Amino acid sequence: MALTEKLSLLPTQPGVYIMKNRDDQIIYIGKAVSLKNRVRSYFNQSGQKHPKVKAMVQHIADFEYIITDSELEALILECNLIKKHRPKYNILLKDDKHYPYLKITLQEDFPRIIICREVKKDGGKYFGPYTNTSAVYETLRIIKKIFPLRQCRNTKLMKNKPCLNYHIKQCSAPCGGHISKEEYREIIKQVILFLEGRQEQVIKDLQKEMVLASENLQFEKAAILRDKIKAIEKVVEKQKMINAALEDQDVIAFAKDNHTACVQTFFIRGGKLIGREHFLLNGTDDIEDSEILTAFIKQFYMNQDFVPRQILLQHEIDEVKIIESWLHSKRGQKVYIKVPKKGEKHQLVDLVAKNAEEALKELKFKVQATKEKEKRKIEGWEGLRERLHLDLLTRIEAYDVSNVQGAYTVASMVVFTEGEFQKSHYRRFKIKTISGQNDVAAIYEVISRRFKRGLQTQADDEKQDESFASFPDLILIDGGKGQVHSAQKALAELGIIIPVCGMVKNEKHQTRGLLIHDQELILPTHNETFKLITRIQDEAHRFAISYQQTLHKKGTFSSILDEIPGIGPKRRQALLSHFKSITEIKEASIETLQNAPQMNQKSAQQVYNYFRRGN
C-alpha cells in the first residue's frame, strides 16, 4: 500500500506510530493524541520542520501504528518500544542497558541482593541504574556487612550445614532453617528502605529491636544490633543535608555540546543528598532543551521502582501533565514536576547544572584521551608490521617459560589481536617432557603441542576451539636465539610457516628490542612499537608467573596435607579449594574445619591436631 493511501486511513485516536526505512528497519517511534494529525504532519510540505526531522522524513519508506485507549497508555507503550528497538532518530539514553542495577530477588522465598545489568519483569525489585560501578560495589559491601542476607545461589535451599558467612554473622542461614520466611522478609524490608535512602527509619526499627532484645536479656543480639545502628549512622553522616523540609526529590539538569547531552541527577531522600548519577543522551544535535529533558525523563523513570514526590527540572518539558499522571501511576501517589525560578530550589537546580557541565568536560577529556590512545596503538601496531615487512598483521601470539629452580616449569601463550589482548584465547601449558631448567626444550614442546592441537582442531569442524584453530601472523618468544630456533624447528616439523621473533632484554631484564633473523633490532624507548612489544612481553611473563606460582603453591600445600592421617584425595582437594593458604588452615578452629566441604568432626580434629602436634 502506498504511503499516501496509508496516510488517508489513519485514525484520530491516540496511539504510537513506528517509522521504517527501505530496509524495514525502525528509525523513529513516537506517540500522538491523534495519530492522523501527528503522522500526517511529517509529510506536510508547508510546515516548518526541524533539520533532524527533515533528514528522517527522507528515509521513511513505511510506517505502522498501534491504537491505544488513552494518551497515558500511548506514553507507556512508546517508552517500552523505544527501549526495545533504540531507533536511530530518537533521543537515546546512551548504553543504558550496560549500566548496573542492584536487584533484590523478591521472587525467591529468601531473596538475595545482586548486581545485574538488565531489568526484567521477573518479580525482582531493581535500584538504579548506576553509572559509577565502584559505588554499586561499595553499596553492596555495606549492605552485606549490616544485613545478614544469604549470598549463595542455592535456589532449592536444601537443609545444609551453614557456611562460613553464618558463623561471621553475615548470613542468617535460611538453608539451615535458622530463620523463618517472615523474619527474613523483615530484613528485606529494611534493605529496601536503606536503598531508598530512608536510613533513619531503618535506625528507628533497629533501635526498637535492640531495646526489646535487652529487655529479654538477649545481650549478644542487642550488641549486634547496636553495631549495625552505628554502621548505618556512619553512612547517614556522609550524606549532605539539602533542605530542612525532609522532602524526597530528584533534581535534574543537563549540559550539552553539538552531539551529546550530559544529564545530571541528584537523589534527595528525607532532605538529604544520598547520591548522584550522570547519564549521556545521544541524538541531541540542535534539539530543543524541553525535548531533551522530556526524552530523558521517559527513559529514566521507565526502569525506576521508586519515584519521589517531587521532581525539580532545569527547563519546562513537553506533555508535563501526562508525564505527571504516568509517574503518579508508578508511585501510587501524586507526583509534582516543577521548574523553580527562585529561592533554594532554584539554587539547587543551578548546582546540578554546574555538575552536569563538569561531567561533560570530563567526558570530552576522556574521549580525546581515548582517541590519542587509539592513535598510538595503531602507530605501534603498524610500525611493527612495517619493520617485519608483513603484508598482514591481525593476530600475535607471545610465549614465555617460567620455573622455580628447575621445578614447576610452565609456559604461557598470550594473544594480541589488532591492538587488544584477547584473554579468552590465552592458554597455559605444564611442561611434560623435560626436567630441570631448559627453556629451549620447553619452548619446543609448547610450540609443538600448540600447533599440533591447532591442526587437529582445524580438521574437526564440529569441535573447533577458536584459540587453537586461529593461527597467528607472528609469534613472539620471550628469549634469545636458542628459544627462537627451537620454535622455528617445531613449526618446520609440522610444515607451518609463521615468522618467529625473540623479545630480547637488557641486563636489568627490561625490554630493549626484537631478535629478527638472528639480528637484534634495538628500539628507542619512546617508540610506540617498543611500547607495544614491552606490553606483550610483560603480559606473557605475568601470565606464566601467575600459573607457575599457583602450581608451586598447590604443590607445597598438597604435600603438607598428604602427611595428615585420614585426609585422602577428596578431602585434600576440598581443603585446597576452600582455604586460601596453609596459614588459614593452621589458624582455623575445629568448627570452621568441620564446616568445610567433605569434612566431618573426626577429620577436622585430625587436621587441627596435626598443626598443633608440637605445642
Residue 200 DSSP SS3: helix
C-alpha separations of 447 from 154, 441, 454, 469, 498 in Å = 43, 10, 10, 14, 12
Q: Which three cell numbers stand for residue 302?
A: 521507565
Which of 147-156, 430-439, 488-497 is modeled with the greatest confidence? 488-497
453 lies in which domain range? 395-542
| 452-461, 510-519, 556-565: least confident range | 556-565
What confidence tens digit (pLDDT) does each residue in 562-574 have?
778 778 878 877 8
Q: What is the distance of C-alpha 492 from the center of its chain?
A: 44
Examine the domain organization and report whether 421 and 485 are in the same domain.
yes
More confident residue, 46 or 248: 248
Q: Is residue 517 part of a domain?
A: yes
**Nearest by Cα to 495 from 533, 522, 455:** 455
Cα 163 to Cα 140: distance, rounded to the nearest angstrom: 19
My answer on whether 235 and 109 are in the same domain is: yes
Q: Of the candidates 298, 339, 251, 254, which has an alpha carbon nearest to the alpha carbon of residue 79? A: 298
Answer whether the bond into residue 129 is a cis peptide, omega within 30°. yes
User: 90, 113, 138: which is the final residue of a domain?
Assistant: 90
Between residues 36 and 242, the one the model is more confident about: 36
Q: For position 19, which CATH number holds?
A: 3.40.1440.10
416 and 493 in a single domain? The answer is yes
Across the range 524-528, mean pLDDT stands at 84
Q: Which residue has the cell 609443538?
A: 448
Question: Residue 482 domain-assigned?
Answer: yes
pLDDT at 602 over 80: yes
Report strand pairing: 310-313 vs 336-338: parallel
In this prediction, what percent of the chain has a pLDDT beyond 70?
89
Res 552 pLDDT > 60: no
* Predicted pLDDT of residue 404: 64
pLDDT band with cut points at 50, 70 and 90 for residue 247:
confident
Mean pLDDT calculated for residue range 68-78? 91
167 inside domain: yes
pLDDT at site 12: 92
207 belongs to a structural domain: yes
Mode of pairing for the β-strands spanning 427-430 and 420-421: unpaired
Average pLDDT over residues 485-497: 93
- Give pairs for 560-565: CB < 8 Å, separation 24+: 563/610, 564/606, 564/607, 564/610, 565/606, 565/610
pLDDT of residue 409: 79
Domain match, 77 and 141 both? no
- 228 and 104 in a single domain? The answer is yes
Residue 155 banded pLDDT, cuts 50, 70, 90:
low
User: Is the same domain home to 446 and 580?
Assistant: no
Shared domain for 78 and 172, answered yes or no, is: no
Q: Are residues 257 and 310 in the same domain?
A: yes
Strand ranges across the sheet with 101-104? 113-116, 101-104, 125-127
Residue with the bigger pLDDT between 550 and 333: it is 333
pLDDT at position 523 is: 81
381 falls within a domain: no
Cα separation, 501 vs 390, in Å, equals: 13
pLDDT at 50 over 80: no
- For the cut 70, the answer to whether the pLDDT of residue 553 exceeds it is no
Q: Which of 187, 194, 144 is nearest to 165 (CA)?
A: 144
Which stretch of 27-31, 113-117, 517-521, 568-572 has the lowest confidence by average pLDDT? Answer: 568-572
Indicate if 436 and 526 belong to the same structural domain: yes
- Residue 415: is its pLDDT beyond 90? yes
Q: For residue 76, is pLDDT > 80?
A: yes
- Report, in angstroms and rounded to the nearest whole number, the Rg of the chain calculated over CA atoms: 32
- The pLDDT-based confidence of 499 (bands split at 50, 70, 90) is very high
CA angle 291, 297, 302 (to 5 degrees): 135
Q: How many domains does the chain have?
A: 5
Strand partners, 67: 15
The region, left, alpha or beta by phi > 0 then psi within -120 to 50, assigned to residue 173 is left
273 has pLDDT over 90: no
Q: How far apart are CA 391 and CA 73, in angstroms?
A: 59
CATH of residue 357's domain is 3.30.420
- The answer to whether the Cα torsion of 278, 281, 286, 288 is positive or negative is negative
pTM, 2 dp:
0.59
CA–CA gap between residue 571 and residue 596 (Å, rounded): 9
pLDDT of residue 371: 84
Q: Any idea how long the chain is?
A: 615
Q: What's the rounded mean pLDDT across residues 538-544? A: 87
Within 8 A by CB and 6+ apart from 370, the residues are none
Question: What distances in angstroms separate CA 194 from CA 181, 235, 262, 307, one per listed residue?
Answer: 20, 10, 28, 15
- State mean pLDDT over 343-367: 88
pLDDT at 508: 66
Largest CA distance in the chain: 98
Return the CATH number at 606. Answer: 1.10.150.20
Of 186, 211, 240, the domain-final residue: 240
Q: Is 526 helix (H, G, I), strand (E, B) or coil?
A: coil
Identify the three-state secondary structure at position 533. helix
447 and 314 in one domain? no
548: in domain = no
Q: Is residue 389 part of a domain?
A: no
Q: Span 463-469, mean pLDDT? A: 73
Does any domain span residue 228? yes
β-strands 26-32, 92-93 pairing: unpaired
Whether the pLDDT of residue 251 is over 90: the answer is yes
CATH number for the domain that contains residue 430: 3.30.420.340
Q: Which residues pair with 500 in a beta bridge?
A: 475
In the chain, DSSP finds a helix count (H) and a strand count (E) of 20, 21
Q: Tell me: do 230 and 346 sit in the same domain.
A: no
What is the model's pLDDT at position 597? 85
231 or 239: which carries more pLDDT confidence? Answer: 231
Domain boundary among 194, 222, 240: 240
Residues 43 and 149 in one domain: no
Q: How many CB atoms lie within 10 A of CB 15?
A: 27
Mean of the pLDDT values across residues 121-138?
79
- pLDDT at position 463 is 60
Cell numbers for 73: 497508555
Q: Which residue has the cell 517509522?
A: 19
Nearest to 102 by CA among 196, 167, 34, 14: 196
